[in-house]
Structure 1
């Protein structure tokens, strides 16, 4: 038996329950992991309250796709892993099939990587979702390169902060947006070339000014909704507006016709469909992120940690949106 977080109905953080469940032995292609730290992501909040892109198939349901720990058992036909090795679990599976909000968890071996020496368990649970998401969209799909400009909404999120570091890694210029001045200094300290305060400034006008009228080759947007019209005005000709989240919760128009049919590429992006599900893309992404960690170019920023017993409070904190960086849950054994 192991303690695991489950929920028996959709709702707020109060529906989360820490329960004793049977974990079982790893089957073919699986590993049993002792979980030491869990990376929290917005997808888990949406899955819990019934607003995720994938519905819950049955209750009680599990949560979590990102964690760090140690291999406890190796299933049939799994190579490259041994008991006792420190590893990280990547977001490469459905929460309808597996969940890592637990003291011990079964996971597919294809979603596990060896944890770099540079990372402890907390760092190992904080890296992969943010960096794979930003790398997969901007570098792998978008082809971001030296001299490009990328505008980042929700820039104080773990993905936004990872995107700032990735932009610097390839020689691009990251421009962060934030609603108020509260996080401006933190974003500048994190490496943003400039910060646009959206409650006080015209985003498109500022981006055009900062780029000499050219516009940004990329906008990496976690908010969606009607604000994409203003963001689209900031995109350079033939540039791309990526939508990787929908924090606004509002309908999202296609702004091309409203803006006179500019040469605008606008597309959605999900890391689990376009990066971690593709073995070759995932191989390149892991190599890119691992290289950045070894050289010190990538440094995951941890906002706060919570013990597993306080998982509901950790979800409340994430929903408040005041964090700068990653929220991690630690597991005592």
Structure 2
């Protein structure tokens, strides 16, 4: 049976309406929707910073010196120092009798070496400078800079002592066998000894480290230096070589006529003095890490002439002359 004419006429209308409704979202998406914002350009790849680059190696510079100062690069020969000579890890600097030298690490560290002192460069970077004090006496000044933290470490050779600070001034002495004294002038210094035990040495204080021991409790830097000599009792000496003993505080530096004399862990020392005919003036100086010093002088006379036997005109063996 055929459909009524009215229904046949409605079918195209309904189909068209459906098509129009289906096309509305497509038209909105194509003609009316705002285009999306353009994507930002891709960022350039960031450089990869390795650990070695993060700790960029810097140089120490031998900025000034006076007298006999020598430098050795690695295992090479000793050579005379020159102004502004760069120093790198494994380099060694030593000062002779009556000499001094100043080493700089940019604006961060200034290290002054006194006479008869030897240092070697251990490690250098933007964040850390590490120097080994072989023997002698050196003063470090570490300056803090905005947004830059730099730590300076001065380690004693042949011992356990290690002093470090990020800002301050301190002096370290090393007798060459690991007995160390540290005195702080400004700031705070961390002084480490055996098994990592440490103390904080504040301005105006000192501490002593002996081999195999922890640092002593910090106390006030003495204003005077203890020095006791045991001079010979005879006014005239018969031998050209003379041994003289003395005693000072542990960690003090002892000089005889400008030449460093090694001390033991208790501050005792022996001087081998060479005498010439006639009067010899021997000067002994003890210096503490606070800068105080004590001197003793003694005139020793060498007389190697023949010993004259005085004849007894009375021919007696004792008693008084008649």
TM-score, with structure 2 as normaliser: 0.24
Bigger CA radius of gyration: 2
Structure having the higher strand fraction is 2
The structure showing larger relative contact order (alpha-carbon pairs under 8 Å, at least 6 residues apart) is 1
